[in-house]
Amino acid sequence: MRYRLQLWHAFLVPFALMWIYPFVWVVSSAFKSQREMLLGGLSVWPAEPTFDNFVRAWQVANFGEYTLNTVVFSAAVVTVVVFVSATAGYALGRGQMPGKKIVVGVLIATMFIPHGYTIIPVFKLVDELGLNNGLIGAVLAAAGPAHVVQILLFMGYFSSLPQELEDAARIDGAGYVRIFWQVMLPLAKPIIGTVTLFTFISAWNAFMVPLVFTLGRPDLRTLGVGMYSFFGQYTADWTGLAAAACISLLPIVTVFLCLQRTFVEGIAGAVKS
Amino acid sequence: MTARHTLAARIAKHRWHYLFLTPMVVLFVGFTAWPMLASWWYAFFDWDGLGPPTSWVGLANFSEVLGSPAFWNAFKNSFLFSLVAVGVQMPLTLLFAILLNNPRLRGRNLYRLFLFLPVVTTTAVVGIVFAVMLDPAGGFVNEILTGVGLLPEPVNFLGSDRTALATVLVIDLWKGFGITLIYWLAALQTIPPDVYEAAKVDGATARQVLRHITVPMLVPIATVILLLTFQSSMNPFDLIQATTKGGPNYATDVVATYIYRYAFDPQMAAPRYGFACAAGVVFGMCTLLLTLLQAPLLRRRYLKASG
Amino acid sequence: MSDRPLSRRALLRGLGAGAALGAAASVSSCSLVGSPRPASKESSGKVRLTIAIVPDPSGASEFYRRQFDRFTQKTGITVNVVENPTEQQLNAVELMFQQNNPPDVFRCQGPDALDRFSSRGWTAALDEYATSSGIPARFPEDALLPRTSGLHRNGKLMSLPLVSGQWSSGGFLVYNKGLLAKGGFTRPPETSEEYEAYARTITAKGGGKFFGAALSSARPSDVNALQAQAGPYSIGSGIDLRTGKVAFSDSSLVDQVELIRRMQSAKIFQPGWESWDGARVFTEFAKERVAFYIGGGWHVNEIKKLNPSLDFGVATVPIPASGRGSYYGQGSAFAPLWSMSAKTKHPDEAWKLMDFLVSEEFQKAYFDMFRTFTAMEGTWREARDLSGPEKGIIAAFDASIRRAPSPSTDGGPGVQRLMADKSAKPDLAHGDSSLLAITRNRDFAPMAKELDVKLDAFLEQDIAKISATELKVSRADLTYSDWDPLQNWKPAA
């Protein structure tokens, strides 16, 4: 049995290598000269490794500044999404109030409607609020649209927690907010981890929203937008782009490694009880 | 009178719940409901998206969308993406998850990381890499396949309208594989190890364990994973822009690229935002309708899952 | 085994925590809340202008910054550069205007964009500034006439050019001398028959390692280039401007689609072009995989950057064996590029920047850096360091481009609206049908006929619709009966 299990490596090792080949290719292109990348074929090892692409990405494309903006933007989006979906999920999961079914129904219905093209009305709204040209506007536009799956995850989890837990806390004199904050929310850690990673990945790579909402303030742009400064109308700086992709990948791989365990336990928690 | 009274009392009783719901509702109204209603309104105009819409055209945009074969082609392709995500990606990732969940498998964390890497790789770069790899003239995939005699001649993977859609579907599968895999790994954590121990003591084979323990115990959580996978499969926009831009001959066009072409594409001399909104509305209505047809099933499953 | 991954994970976790801390600390320093428009006057009273550009071609970012530094040294006016991804430039500038935070000067990417921006009153009329700064003297005598400049809207000068009119109007054949020789040819193909025959021979010789010809992308630019040498260029977009009638079925178009279709079904072209982006064809050429293809001005410099030792040349696009029927039609003296905001708070300073962008100094520097033929011919035509291919471009352009009428340049707002409505409907262009004919090996003629019927009905309907408003348009606006496509066209006085 044990021996047979390790036989799987014969399949997994080549499979995994094939799987990440495109990724390795990106990393190696980041160290190649533009010429070598386009003319030199698919050799993974750069003939004359160079750091020029990273220097260019860092300086010309402002990637230092953009990385900081992206961290702030993504962290803010994650905070808002976690807060909003946790509170909403708690109310929907624990309360049997009138209108609950309607709210859940409407939420699920909107899940299936495409959102991409609604950016113009959203832009007008943020503009009216006077929040354009700041990261707040971008954060609102990214975090604002209902994150239905996230809400449903919290809702499912909170509804599965035993009523006695709430009752006991109330007997101890805890109010609604304290029960949520000190008893229930800490129990929802796995869900928080899941929602954080999920939201973080999409915020990190977001393009349209941060572009549109930082038009007048290019200094506030994020990596997802900055990446596109390597695309010209007729030409593209592929190696610069590859270097930029590597820079933007590093933090997110770090986050994945940190959150992997919480994350894997995440959804599990939703149905554990 | 009494009905109203009790309703008011019930509302008052749940005031905290309502208060907790407020942030979500406020954001929902502002960022989901209003943009949606606004785009419904715009769909009745011949409008380029700037200034106030003035040229009312009634249902003309809708009838143009409904009568556009290109739209239905995009519609069909959009559903194909969801179908593959749910029908191929979900079972396939489950098998990998079961394998990688085995604590005795060495290096499983490394495998997980490797399978996850495509998820976070920038889509624009993915497009370039695959264009080079799949090149019909000298791309290494074709070189290998023709070299070992699997193919009589190189295949124009992304350039032929017969193979482009399948190719993009596979790339999409590659890109989304890791995230569904992680969901399944999470799901497998919900099965207590002692169940397996008991099965082993009873002398069950690996296949029996899979069929009689693993799969049945995963059913409730599968609904959640289905929702997550379905939702992310609805938006293959970035990947398609990076690989084929919907071509060739619209073979890989999906609704998102169709809408984008009319609303924002710089190749269009004058954007037709009103028309794009109409296309979005029609697509939304159709998906909603299809969802409602499955609603009883979904609801039952979901309630079971969360209850 | 289990210890090492753990400690690595702990290390990464530490890193993650550090990153989170850094983020928290930086929130205070980063402006999270939207600020009012950035102060345009600095404390010293100096003016700060905003310009919206695209970082294109590669290296343009650094180039513009250097140039604007020089501008600042000279004038004391500082320049705040907003760079947008090329594909998003127009959307971005439009939104900036909507937000009442427009740039003072911006790249207005081409004629359609200028139509949109000027019709909203966003572009400043430059006539007075241009006259007082002596701009007309920098260009040939008849270049800035309102009816043909391409820079005017409603009789007012609304934009200034970056590149020469020829540069944005025509293409040429790029050929690899070594690969031609491998096929036994000593010169590039001159007729479309030779184009087919040479390509066939070379592809057969190449055995999959190199090819006779390549198409540049799924867009019908190759068909249109060949068409313009056979018949009036406007037939490429469906209208014969000599008669004002729909003309997709014209043999000058159908023949070219049939030629390409024949070559495609005989597997003569390098495969895969259906999904190529704009940079791919010259990359393949630089890799010495293609003997010749029809390219555009900017390709030559890119090829040289990629493969400096490549021995290649530039020639005119092949003409029909029966002889030239027409030329690339240059519908305007220039393509518009630099525009000034009508809402700028510092029009005088913004004009200085505009003036700088069409100065000899800037345009020469631009040519030297990117080898793009700029709007001021003097900066490149007689340049001493012109390469062989660059001299070839000049010769090819002079031999294959003629001035031609263009309703949207020459006509009033009514016909401009008509042309804009037409190009907003991709199904009224032949691109989809001809691509289908070529890739699926189908007859193009019946599709062309169908397109003609569709386009004719659209014109009828849209003319009626536009005429119902205060704008005027008729078929006569699409008719230039005095135009001989073999001559340079000039509007009758």
Using beta carbons and an 8 Å cutoff, which residues of B are at the interface with C? Answer: 48, 50-51, 70, 106, 109, 131, 135-138, 154, 156, 158-161, 164, 243-244, 247-250, 261, 264, 266, 268-272
Q: What is the mean pLDDT of chain B?
A: 83
Residue C140 three-state SS: coil
Examine the pLDDT at A272 and tell me if it is beyond 50.
Answer: no
Predicted pLDDT at B271: 77
| Mutate: best of B46, B48, B50, partner C, most C CBs <10 A | B50
pLDDT average, residue stretch A13-41: 83
C323 & C224 share domain: yes
User: Do residue B269 and residue C272 have CB atoms under 8 angstroms apart?
Assistant: no
User: Do residue A257 and residue C12 have CB atoms under 8 angstroms apart?
Assistant: yes
Q: Which residues of chain B are within 8 Å of residue A194 when distances are taken between CB atoms?
A: 186
pLDDT average, residue stretch C317-322: 95
C150 & C183 share domain: no
Q: Which residue has better confidence, C259 or C90?
A: C259
ipTM: 0.82
Structural domain for B257, as ranges: 75-119+164-306
- Tell me if C263 sits within 8 A of C192, measured CB to CB: no
Q: Which residues of chain B are within 8 Å of residue C218 when distances are taken between CB atoms?
A: 247-248
Predicted pLDDT at A260: 65
Task: Please name the residues between 132 and 151 in chain C that touch chain A, using a CB distance below 8 Å.
Answer: none
Examine the pLDDT at C408 and tell me if it is beyond 90.
Answer: no
C320 & C238 share domain: yes
Q: What share of chain C is helix, strand, coil (3-state, %, to 5)?
A: 50, 10, 40
Examine the pLDDT at C16 and tell me if it is beyond 50.
Answer: no
Q: Write the Ramachandran bin of C413: left for phi over 0, alpha for psi from -120 to 50, otherwise beta.
A: alpha
Residue C408 lies in a domain: no
User: Do residue C19 and residue A233 have CB atoms under 8 angstroms apart?
Assistant: no
Residue C229 lies in a domain: yes
Predicted pLDDT at B302: 54
Question: Which stretch, A249-263, C54-68, C85-99, C127-141, has highest mean pLDDT?
Answer: C127-141
Compute the count of residue pairs across chains A and B with CB atoms less than 8 Å apart. Answer: 254
Query: Tens digits of per-residue pLDDT, B68-115?
Result: 899 999 999 998 998 999 899 999 999 998 888 877 888 877 888 888
pLDDT average, residue stretch C99-107: 91
| Mutate: best of A67, A118, A119, A262, partner B, most B CBs <10 A | A118
Alpha helices in C241-374 (DSSP H): 251-265, 280-286, 299-306, 347-357, 360-370
Examine the pLDDT at C149 and tell me if it is beyond 60.
Answer: yes
Predicted pLDDT at C49: 94
Residue B158 lies in a domain: no
B4 band by pLDDT with thresholds 50, 70 and 90: low
pTM attached to this predicted model: 0.84
Distance from C-alpha of B79 to C-alpha of A112, rounded to nearest angstrom: 12
Q: What angle do CA A202, A207, A208 make, to 5 degrees?
A: 115
**B158-175 b/e (C-beta count within 10 Å ≥ 16 → b):** bbbbebbbebbbebbbbb
Looking at the structure of chain B, the number of domains it has is 1
Q: Which residue has better confidence, C119 or C232?
A: C232
- Touching check for C127 and chain A: CB below 8 Å? no
Q: What angle do CA C328, C334, C337 make, to 5 degrees?
A: 130
Encoded tokens for C321: 């064996």
Q: Which residues of chain A are within 8 Å of residue B302 when distances are taken between CB atoms?
A: 152, 156
User: Do residue C31 and residue A220 have CB atoms under 8 angstroms apart?
Assistant: yes
How many CB atoms within 10 Å of residue C484?
Answer: 13
- Touching check for C94 and chain B: CB below 8 Å? yes
Q: Which of B50, B109, B131 sits opposite C94 (nearest CB)?
A: B50
> Phi and psi dihedrals of A260, rounded to 5?
-50, -50
Looking at the structure of chain C, the number of domains it has is 2
Q: Which residue has better confidence, A200 or B301?
A: A200
Predicted pLDDT at A159: 85
pLDDT average, residue stretch A14-41: 83
C127 & C156 share domain: yes
- The chains found to touch C (3+ Cβ pairs under 8 angstroms) are A, B
- Tell me if A212 sits within 8 A of A171, measured CB to CB: no
Residue C422 lies in a domain: no
Query: Tens digits of per-residue pLDDT, C447-476?
Result: 999 999 999 999 999 999 999 988 899 999
Question: Which stretch, A179-193, B89-103, C66-80, has highest mean pLDDT?
Answer: C66-80
Examine the pLDDT at B305 and tell me if it is beyond 70.
Answer: no
Sequence-distant (6+) residues with CB within 8 A of B264 are B271, C91
C194 & C100 share domain: no
For residues C387, C388, C389, C393, the Cα torsion angle rounded to the nearest 10 degrees is: 90
Sequence-distant (6+) residues with CB within 8 A of C425 are C458
- Tell me if C217 sits within 8 A of C276, measured CB to CB: yes
Identify the CATH number of the domain in which residue B293 sits: 1.10.3720.10
C63 & C162 share domain: yes
pLDDT average, residue stretch A110-123: 74
Predicted pLDDT at B297: 62
C267 & C374 share domain: no
Encoded tokens for C120: 């909203």
Q: Which of C406, C397, C417, C489 is nearest to C150 (CA)?
A: C406
Q: Which of B65, B49, C89, B54 is nearest to A119 (CA)?
A: B49
Predicted pLDDT at C268: 95
pLDDT average, residue stretch C30-56: 63
pLDDT average, residue stretch A56-68: 80
Least confident of A214-228, B229-243, B288-302: B288-302
Examine the pLDDT at C165 and tell me if it is beyond 60.
Answer: yes
Predicted pLDDT at B5: 67
| Mutate: best of B15, B39, B116, B122, partner A, most A CBs <10 A | B122
Identify the CATH number of the domain in which residue C125 sits: 3.40.190.10
pLDDT average, residue stretch B57-65: 89
Amino acid letter for position B89: Q
Examine the pLDDT at C7 and tell me if it is beyond 90.
Answer: no
How many CB atoms within 10 Å of residue A140?
Answer: 24
Query: Tens digits of per-residue pLDDT, C263-281?
Result: 999 999 999 898 888 888 9
Q: Which residues of chain C are within 8 Å of residue A237 when distances are taken between CB atoms?
A: 58
For residues C232, C175, B154, A235, the Cα torsion angle rounded to the nearest 10 degrees is: -80
Least confident of A39-43, B187-191, C46-50: A39-43
pLDDT average, residue stretch C304-332: 94
Predicted pLDDT at A264: 59
**B188-222 b/e (C-beta count within 10 Å ≥ 16 → b):** bbbbeeeeeeebeeeebeeeebeeebbeebbebbb
Predicted pLDDT at B298: 59
Predicted pLDDT at A268: 53
A85 band by pLDDT with thresholds 50, 70 and 90: very high
Q: Which residue has better confidence, B217 or C349?
A: C349
Query: Tens digits of per-residue pLDDT, C234-257?
Result: 999 999 999 999 999 999 999 999
Examine the pLDDT at C179 and tell me if it is beyond 80.
Answer: yes
Structural domain for C382, as ranges: 48-167+333-403
Predicted pLDDT at C352: 95
Predicted pLDDT at C157: 95
Query: Tens digits of per-residue pLDDT, B252-276?
Result: 999 888 888 888 776 666 678 889 8
Distance from C-alpha of C191 to C-alpha of C229, rounded to nearest angstrom: 10
Examine the pLDDT at C303 and tell me if it is beyond 50.
Answer: yes
Handedness of CA A203, A206, A212, A217 (dihedral sign): positive
Predicted pLDDT at A195: 83
User: Do residue C439 and residue B249 have CB atoms under 8 angstroms apart?
Assistant: yes
Examine the pLDDT at C293 and tell me if it is beyond 90.
Answer: yes
Distance from C-alpha of C287 to C-alpha of C60, rounded to nearest angstrom: 25
Nearest-Cα distance to chain B for A181, in Å, is 12
User: Do residue A71 and residue C22 have CB atoms under 8 angstroms apart?
Assistant: yes
Encoded tokens for C3: 């210890």
Nearest-Cα distance to chain C for A82, in Å, is 16
Q: Which residues of chain B are within 8 Å of residue C94 when distances are taken between CB atoms?
A: 50
Encoded tokens for A14: 């080549």
Q: Which of B35, B128, B190 sits opposite A268 (nearest CB)?
A: B190
Residue B280 lies in a domain: yes
pLDDT average, residue stretch B163-192: 86
C128 & C52 share domain: yes
Q: What is the DSSP letter of C412?
A: -
User: Do residue B190 and residue A272 have CB atoms under 8 angstroms apart?
Assistant: yes
C211 & C320 share domain: yes
A245 band by pLDDT with thresholds 50, 70 and 90: confident
C35 band by pLDDT with thresholds 50, 70 and 90: very low
Q: What is the DSSP letter of C299?
A: H
User: Do residue A256 and residue B113 have CB atoms under 8 angstroms apart?
Assistant: yes
Closest chain B residue by Cα to residue A19: B115
pLDDT average, residue stretch C17-24: 38
Q: Which residues of chain C are within 8 Å of residue B143 when distances are taken between CB atoms?
A: none
C359 & C435 share domain: no
Residue C95 lies in a domain: yes
Examine the pLDDT at C218 and tell me if it is beyond 50.
Answer: yes
Predicted pLDDT at C14: 37
Examine the pLDDT at C30 and tell me if it is beyond 70.
Answer: no
Residue B153 lies in a domain: no
Q: Topology of A66-271 in CATH?
A: MetI-like fold (1.10.3720)
Residue C374 lies in a domain: yes
Residue C362 lies in a domain: yes
Paired strand residues for C313: C175
Q: Where does B221-275 show beta strands of DSSP type E? A: none
Q: What is the DSSP letter of C158?
A: -
Predicted pLDDT at A235: 67
pLDDT average, residue stretch C322-332: 94
DSSP for C170-205, written as a single string: --EEEEEHHHHHHTT-SS---BHHHHHHHHHHHHHH
Residue C390 lies in a domain: yes
C54 & C134 share domain: yes
To the nearest whole percent, how much of chain C has pLDDT over 90? Answer: 68
